[in-house]
């Protein structure tokens, strides 16, 4: 049994679907179901006893303690977070509450549980903290990619809150011996991503003939990784990672935002020629830049590749093709998530069953 936090979000739900298919090992999924949490992502597991959904907050220590006692997980995979940079700029408080205070409360309950385990279980136990490359700040055009020894220099309230949580996780290892692992990953894309993030936002606006907003000059660079490759990397770190270490995860796939948007538009031109406005790229509109917008992220993924033998299976060309096709095939999911009816769907389908 493993316990996943934030398993109804984009990466967490991809992780649970892949994990249960690959290992069959049961998962307790603790998720607050914020605007970003969507149980419809996990509908294929609705009748599956290996997925136990618990509606709750990582800040609820009574609940976390009860879940640990009841299910006795061998590992915690901590995905739960407020994840969107723009939202952190408009209102940082939830980011502090969940990413910092929430991680602290979770760590405290996990520490108490871990200390109560018998020697063999205690040795085998793992706390894997899922974090981001944004903690390293911004690179210049000629700088070497981020490595695990790059100093932290977070620039947004989001990245600062993630950096704080990384430091807490590190401290619980060095102070209390908690067996932790931390991953710092680059930008993910793929199925079930909430359409506030660049790729799904562009795709859906393009399909609806709406402007495609490009912040600043569109030359900011991100290192894109298909979400399934991120999930595989997390499995590799959980199975083989060295305690107390951090692992950078990335796809060696640096692209400017403009290139990403043009690629998505070109795929849509082929797969969806009947959109209200074509070519889709004619909708590109330059808008005011994001405050403090990091110019470039790039990941040096040699450590995880060489030490743990992980490599991404998808390149951007194959991954983005699959992703666009997934959204075209799942327009009802998009409709539900954008209209807000998915909360009603949750109540209808999980009402009375979702609290452990
Ligand atoms: P997401 O916003 O899609 O999902 C977050 C999930 O956490 C949601 O289901 C939400 O309901 C849940 N949640 C939020 N606050 C909670 C709380 N207090 N208690 C319990 N559950 C809570 O995020 P994502 O994109 O899937 O990211 C998952 C993790 O991966 C985050 O920690 C993020 O920092 C990290 N990360 C994301 C990316 C990316 O490109 N999306 C890249 C690197 C790292
Ligand atoms: O690098 C990992 C991080 O990637 C994760 O930790 C975050 O959780 C995740 O949200 C993502 O952060 P970004 O800020 O890089 O992702 P976002 O999709 O918001 O933006 C990607 C780039 O596109 C960024 O340079 C801003 C730009 N952008 C974004 C939006 C939403 C636009 O130009 N227009 C837009 O409308």
The whole-number pLDDT of residue 355 equals 40
Phi-psi region of 72 (alpha: psi -120 to 50; beta: other; left: phi over 0): left
Q: Which atom of ligand 1 is nearest to the CA of 58?
A: 19
Q: Is the pLDDT of residue 246 over 70?
A: yes
Give the chain's mean pLDDT. 96
pLDDT in tens, 207-238: 999 999 999 999 999 999 999 999 999 999 99
CA–centroid distance, 265 to ligand 1, in Å, is 27
Span 71-97, average pLDDT: 98
The verdict on the CB of residue 36 being under 6 Å from ligand 1 is: yes
Give the pLDDT band of residue 283 (cuts 50, 70, 90): very high
**Domains, the chain, ranges and CATH?**
2-193+224-251+293-313 (3.40.50.720)
Q: Is the pLDDT of residue 344 over 80?
A: no
Distances in Å between the Cα of 292 and the Cα atoms of 83, 156, 304 are: 16, 7, 30
The whole-number pLDDT of residue 6 equals 98
Contacts 24+ apart (CB under 8 A), 321-329: 321/267, 322/190, 322/226, 323/189, 323/190, 323/191, 323/199, 323/226, 324/203, 324/264, 324/267, 324/268, 324/271, 325/271, 326/190, 326/191, 327/191, 327/200, 327/203, 327/204, 328/271, 328/272
The whole-number pLDDT of residue 353 equals 43
pLDDT top residue among 77 and 356: 77
Q: Pick the residue whose CA is nearest to atom 31 on ligand 2.
A: 198
Q: Which of 158, 189, 226, 327 is catalytic?
A: 158
Span 338-349, average pLDDT: 70
Whether 133 is catalytic is yes
The whole-number pLDDT of residue 343 equals 67
Contact in structure between 240 and 316 (CB atoms under 8 Å)? no
Q: Which ligand gives the minimal distance to the CA of 188? A: 1
Give the pLDDT band of residue 348 (cuts 50, 70, 90): confident
Tell me how far apart the alpha carbons of residues 107 and 272 are, in angstroms, rounded to a whole number.
47
Q: Which ligand gives the minimal distance to the CA of 165? A: 1
Q: Which of 299-325 are b and which e, b meaning 16 or more Cβ less than 10 Å from the residue's Cβ?
A: bbbebbbeebebebebebeebbeebbe
CA–centroid distance, 76 to ligand 1, in Å, is 15
The verdict on the CB of residue 84 being under 6 Å from ligand 2 is: yes
Span 303-326, average pLDDT: 98
Span 312-326, average pLDDT: 98
CA–centroid distance, 10 to ligand 1, in Å, is 7
Q: Is the pLDDT of residue 351 over 80?
A: no
Whether 329 is catalytic is no
Whose CA is closest to 133, among 58, 174, 188?
A: 188
The verdict on the CB of residue 222 being under 6 Å from ligand 2 is: yes
CA–centroid distance, 207 to ligand 2, in Å, is 20
Q: Pick the residue whose CA is nearest to atom 21 on ligand 2.
A: 198
Whether 317 is catalytic is no
HEC-encoded secondary structure of 62-104: HHHHHHHHHHCCCEEEECCCCCCHHHHHHCCHHHHHHHHHHHH
Say whether 150 sits in a helix, a strand or coil.
coil
The whole-number pLDDT of residue 337 equals 86
Give the pLDDT band of residue 186 (cuts 50, 70, 90): very high
Q: Is the pLDDT of residue 342 over 70?
A: no
Provide the sign of the torsion angle of the four alpha carbons 64, 80, 175, 241, taken in this order. Answer: positive
The verdict on the CB of residue 249 being under 6 Å from ligand 1 is: no
Q: Is the pLDDT of residue 346 over 70?
A: no
């Amino acid at each position: 049994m493993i316990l996943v936090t934030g398993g109804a979000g984009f990466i967490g739900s991809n992780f649970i679907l892949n994990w249960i298919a690959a290992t069959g090992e049961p998962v307790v999924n603790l998720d607050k179901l914020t605007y970003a949490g969507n149980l419809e992502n996990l509908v294929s597991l609705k009748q599956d006893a290996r997925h136990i959904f618990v509606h709750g907050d990582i800040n609820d220590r009574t609940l976390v303690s009860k879940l640990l006692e009841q299910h006795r997980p061998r590992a915690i995979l901590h995905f739960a977070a407020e994840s969107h940079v723009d939202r952190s700029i408009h209102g940082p408080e939830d980011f502090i509450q969940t990413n910092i205070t929430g991680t602290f409360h979770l760590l405290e309950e996990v520490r108490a549980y871990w200390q109560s385990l018998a020697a063999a279980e205690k040795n085998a136990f793992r706390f894997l903290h899922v974090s981001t490359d944004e903690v390293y700040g911004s690179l210049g055009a000629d700088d070497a990619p981020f490595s695990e020894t790059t100093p932290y220099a977070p620039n947004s309230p989001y990245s600062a809150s993630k950096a704080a949580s990384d430091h807490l996780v590190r401290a619980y290892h060095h102070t209390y011996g908690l067996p932790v692992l931390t991953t710092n990953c680059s930008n993910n894309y793929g199925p079930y991503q909430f359409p506030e993030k660049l790729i799904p936002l562009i795709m859906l606006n393009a399909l609806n003939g709406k402007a495609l907003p490009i912040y600043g000059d569109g030359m900011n660079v991100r290192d894109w990784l298909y979400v399934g490759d991120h999930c595989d990397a997390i499995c590799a770190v959980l199975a083989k990672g060295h305690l107390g270490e951090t692992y950078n995860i990335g796809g060696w796939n640096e692209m400017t935002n403009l290139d990403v948007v043009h690629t998505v538009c070109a795929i849509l031109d082929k797969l969806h020629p009947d959109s209200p406005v074509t070519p889709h790229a004619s909708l590109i509109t330059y808008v005011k830049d994001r405050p403090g917008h990091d110019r470039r992220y790039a990941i040096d993924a040699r450590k995880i590749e060489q030490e743990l033998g992980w490599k991404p299976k998808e390149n951007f060309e194959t991954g983005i093709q699959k992703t666009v096709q997934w959204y075209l095939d799942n327009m009802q999911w998009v409709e539900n998530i954008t209209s807000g009816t998915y909360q009603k769907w949750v109540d209808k389908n999980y009402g009375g069953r979702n609290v452990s």
